[in-house]
Structure 1
């Protein structure tokens, strides 16, 4: 997600006063990506009776969907504040860019094949 957010921010015509909000959006994306990586690593750890409770708690805390539920809306709000979403452009009177296939559509098409 970080690469996509970085690319989106790179296409915006931001003012210097937007620097903090764009940095915050990037931090949210990096945190989401990091949580996904940690959850994957925790899931691959071998069973060890001495550490199973600790690993289980760690896994629960960093599961990607938990982080996404928490940070996803915050990332969207940051992107809205930067004018980087269709909603924020519509409210500002700017047309949305030509639509390509969304990531969700691409995933659905991949699953159907």
Structure 2
């Protein structure tokens, strides 16, 4: 059985090591530690989604073999929630937003190169405050 058929991903396809490596290459402030850990959590959960979905498939096959319609219904609902696509749709944008805020995305790096903040251009309120302050 291949790694992907068992729900495992090849190491070079995992997000967590890539996110960890990206974060390690940044100079983060201590106040960024929580957000960096949140980004790692999102990546870990995305990596685990395939394994959880594969396990749900295995249990679903066993429930069908036992001809237990209630268990089949419960596991089918669980499998739908564990689907990799659902995880990516739910956590993917959150991971990207965290990486943007930390300056670990192409968008954030481009904004920084143009003189903007790590997460994008300065907001109007920040610009107004800055102009009034000095």
* TM-score when normalising by structure 1: 0.77
How far apart in 2 are the matches of 1:25 and 1:70? 13
Would you identify which runs of 4 or more consecutive aligned residues in structure 1 move more than 4 Å? none
| Counterpart selection for 1:38 from 52, 59, 66 | 52
How far apart in 1 are the matches of 2:85 and 2:101? 24
Structure 2's unaligned 5+ residue stretches are: 1-14, 115-134
Alignment length (residue pairs): 94
Give the match's secondary structure for 1:92.
helix
Bigger radius of gyration: 2
**Which deviations, in whole Å up to 9, do the C-alpha atoms of 1:26-49 show, x marking residues without a partner?**
111111122221001111232233
The equivalent residue for 1:79 is 99
Indicate the structure whose relative CO is greater, using CA pairs within 8 Å and at least 6 residues apart.
Answer: 1
The equivalent residue for 2:121 is none
Structure 1's unaligned 5+ residue stretches are: 95-113
RMSD: 1.3
How far has the Cα of 1:86 moved from its partner? 0.7
Aligned pairs (5 A) from 1:31-110: 31-45=45-59, 46=62, 47=64, 48-50=66-68, 51-93=71-113
